Structure 1
């Protein structure tokens, strides 16, 4: 499988980077009490912080809003997925528990202040390309809507668009039957490569501690826009 980052994206933002983790032989289940407790505590901490600040005071939220604007995307209409999590929490709503992989993915999004998607690797075909969508690219999203990806940052495979830093597709969602998964980290462009590598390793280590299995990590950026796995 080829993983690639569209040159047009790098032309727009030269420091744009995407981390990819591939997990094999994993076991997804209901989230353990440890993870649920950490998510609940983290959400309460965020609510307390927001009594004296705003969501835009989180560097990862403000940077990704600016990143969207640079690509001609409207973050007010189509907010980055991690910003949507922060806004839900700020309104007093708890994040729903889904399963261990999705819940941990949400935890990482809040912790690292970036959009992250996780997908069933067996539902992905031939290649993965991070690009800006065209008029033909759309998918049924986990938000219950048909999502038109024209002009938006999106992930595509041979069958079409399946994910984005806004919302992901029903076609490639993970569930308790998933044994191999692929996780896409939309890294803050300002984060140095060394720090990005450390972030990916820490996240992968925690993921495999919770789900068993093995992980392989890949980083797409200006000097390495394509890798083969």
Structure 2
């Protein structure tokens, strides 16, 4: 679904298993020389990139996601993030609608909570 949405929206998408994350999430710039294990890529240098982080450190970014928070067959609750830069409020609403449509189309009726963080 990430690849489908990324191609359709022309934006980076990340999905994360919420059970593998702590509650205090933040969006920040990675520290110098910071890295993590990327999904299928080994160590990835994320220095100075925008990243999602919790108390254990970064777990996702627009360039690649980490193995620490990756989705698995055991995932029950997930967070999907669309990394967008500079879209207008109406464009953000259109993105939100597209993502909700895709989730419902793939997974059927499911509980979706959406938040636009600016």
The TM-score with structure 1 as length reference comes to 0.48
Q: Please say if 1:193 is aligned against 2:68.
A: no
Match of 1:182 among 58, 74, 79: 79
- The aligned residue for residue 98 of structure 1 is none
Q: Please say if 1:118 is aligned against 2:22.
A: no
Task: Count how many residue pairs are aligned between Structure 1 and Structure 2.
Answer: 117
Higher helix share: 1
| C-alpha RMSD over aligned residues | 1.5
- Native 8 Å contact 1:201 1:217 kept in 2: no
Match of 2:61 among 164, 171, 181: 164
- The aligned residue for residue 18 of structure 1 is none
Task: Tell me how far 1:127 sits from its aligned partner.
Answer: 1.8
Change in Cα spacing, 1:109 to 1:175, as seen in structure 2 (3 Å) is same
Task: Tell me how far 1:121 sits from its aligned partner.
Answer: 1.1
Runs (4+) off by over 4 Å: none
The TM-score with structure 2 as length reference comes to 0.89
Tell which structure's C-alpha radius of gyration is larger: 1
Q: Distance between the aligned counterparts of 2:89 and 2:21, measured in 1?
A: 27
Q: Distance between the aligned counterparts of 2:49 and 2:65, measured in 1?
A: 13
- What whole-Å deviation, never above 9, does each CA across 1:117-164 have from its counterpart, x for those lacking one? 011111111222111100363211113321232211111111101011
- The aligned residue for residue 214 of structure 1 is 111
Task: Tell me how far 1:202 sits from its aligned partner.
Answer: 2.2
